[in-house]
A and B are shown apart, each in its own frame.
Chain A
Amino acid sequence: MHEWSIAESIVVSSAKIAQEHGASKVVKVYVKVGELSQLELEILKLATNELKREYDVLKNAEFLFEIEEAVFKCLSCGFTWNFTNVKKRINEVFCGSPDKECDNPVHYVPDLVNSFVKCPKCGSPDFEIVKGRGVYIAKIDFIK
């Protein structure tokens, strides 16, 4: 259900951007969803389609979601790696097995990945999320 809260932020933000640009009608909103946030795109689509009705300027807008792959870089040894490894670790810690998925804190606050995952090469917790962290609006098409 966290997807509903995220959808609300996307809808509120889109309406604000439209207002700031003097748009009369928003046509398309392109949203990038970081892999690390583990958000379900189908629920995001459903939620944005329902919530957009509260704003006239968004009533006919199409929200397009695209997953952004997550990349991590160790600030200790420089090693880079992707989400597959991270996801297995998160599953292991919270769901009891690398292949079993369940609710976890990284879904809510992606930056907490540093609390539960280590660099696969040197074991350091000091790494950065290069990309694919959370949600952002990449582009909005509108009519003035």
Chain B
Amino acid sequence: MKFYDPRDAIIKERFRNIKYTVLIGSGKGGVGKSTISAILALKLSREGFNVGLLDLDLHGPVIPEILGLENTEPEESKKGLVPPETLGVKVMSIGFFAKNEAIPLRGKAKTNAIKELLAITNWGSLDFLVVDLPPGTGDETLTSVESINGSKGALIVTIPSRISLSVVERAISLFSDLKVPILALINNMAYYVIAGERAFIIGEGNVFSLANKYNIEYVIEIPFDFKIAKALDENAPEKLLETEVAERIGKIVEILKSKVERRS
């Protein structure tokens, strides 16, 4: 007998009023996906868009901490859970439920947890949903791409080391195979400016060559910015917008603007 999973139909409903979904992926861990996801969501909100931020990193959900929401919980409504909101961004994360406990899940359970989050969250109407994916090219990425219907595109984050680029290429290849357009390749921690000179302290892997190979139109270079660490340590998410990183992410905002009409 065929059983029906009611989550499949409701997930489609939940995404009906989301104009564009931006998947932030990498393949590699520790490259700054979550911070970039948070800053992008904050920038889009400041530009006047309705924005949601979904943290799907089941093994390291840090978005609540980045945005100072670690002591917040989603509220129930008759139409699903209402995501907590800060600085104009609606936020959902498995971290709201698991708190500081480990989430030791295997494949099928990971898929179930993600589908559950997608099914129970009522985003309302959004211009953009920014999705912070975990490292890797496994269950979380596949389930997100397959479950999220509607217009979507990916931003791939790397650091400029040869090792990172080799891992990130696998993610680019996967998104290409899944027919998700790659909007830009973000070269995070690209360099550090010392006495007016650029120092390539992580490496000088050829990010542009990788972008060319996969016909990725934009490469966004983001330098080291100690204001980021300060804003995070001070638990002051609004200060993330006062960084050079935020300024560089402005280019991504420009790319995304063409995807939706601004709210009135």
B112 within 8 Å of A by Cβ? yes
Given contacts A105-B97, A111-B116, contact A5 B102 (CB under 8 A): no
Which of A2, A47, A126 has most chain B Cβ within 10 Å? A2
Complex: A134 Cα to B79 Cα, angstroms? 18
B10 within 8 Å of A by Cβ? yes
Complex: A134 Cα to B81 Cα, angstroms? 17
B7 within 8 Å of A by Cβ? yes
- Chain B residues in 8 Å Cβ range of A6: 6
Q: Are the C-beta atoms of B80 and A13 separated by less than 8 Å?
A: no
A17 within 8 Å of B by Cβ? yes
Q: Are the C-beta atoms of B104 and A5 separated by less than 8 Å?
A: no
Q: Are the C-beta atoms of A134 and B4 separated by less than 8 Å?
A: no
- Chain A residues in 8 Å Cβ range of B229: none
Complex: A110 Cα to B94 Cα, angstroms? 12
Q: Are the C-beta atoms of B106 and A8 separated by less than 8 Å?
A: no
1/0 per residue A9-42: CB within 8 Å of B? 1101110110000000000000010000000000
With beta carbons under 8 angstroms apart, the residue of A12, A109, A129 that contacts B97 is A109
> Dominant SS at the A interface?
helix
Total number of A residues with any Cβ neighbor in B under 8 Å: 37
With beta carbons under 8 angstroms apart, the residue of A2, A114, A138 that contacts B3 is A138
B105 within 8 Å of A by Cβ? yes
Complex: A140 Cα to B113 Cα, angstroms? 26
With beta carbons under 8 angstroms apart, the residue of B6, B77, B102 that contacts A137 is B6
Q: Are the C-beta atoms of B1 and A108 separated by less than 8 Å?
A: no
Complex: A5 Cα to B4 Cα, angstroms? 17
Q: Are the C-beta atoms of A111 and B109 separated by less than 8 Å?
A: yes
With beta carbons under 8 angstroms apart, the residue of A8, A14, A75 that contacts B80 is A8
Q: Are the C-beta atoms of A13 and B104 separated by less than 8 Å?
A: no
Complex: A57 Cα to B193 Cα, angstroms? 66
A1 within 8 Å of B by Cβ? yes
B223 to chain A, nearest CB (A): 37
Complex: A137 Cα to B10 Cα, angstroms? 13
Complex: A127 Cα to B117 Cα, angstroms? 21
With beta carbons under 8 angstroms apart, the residue of A8, A16, A111, A138 that contacts B1 is A138
Instruction: Using CB atoms and an 8 Å cutoff, list the residues of chain A in contact with chain B.
Output: 1-2, 4-6, 8-10, 12-14, 16-17, 32, 47, 75, 105, 108-112, 114-116, 125-126, 128-129, 133-140
Besides A4-B77, A110-B112, A136-B5, 10 other A-B contacts (C-beta < 8 A): A2-B81, A8-B78, A12-B13, A109-B116, A111-B105, A111-B113, A114-B103, A115-B104, A133-B112, A134-B7
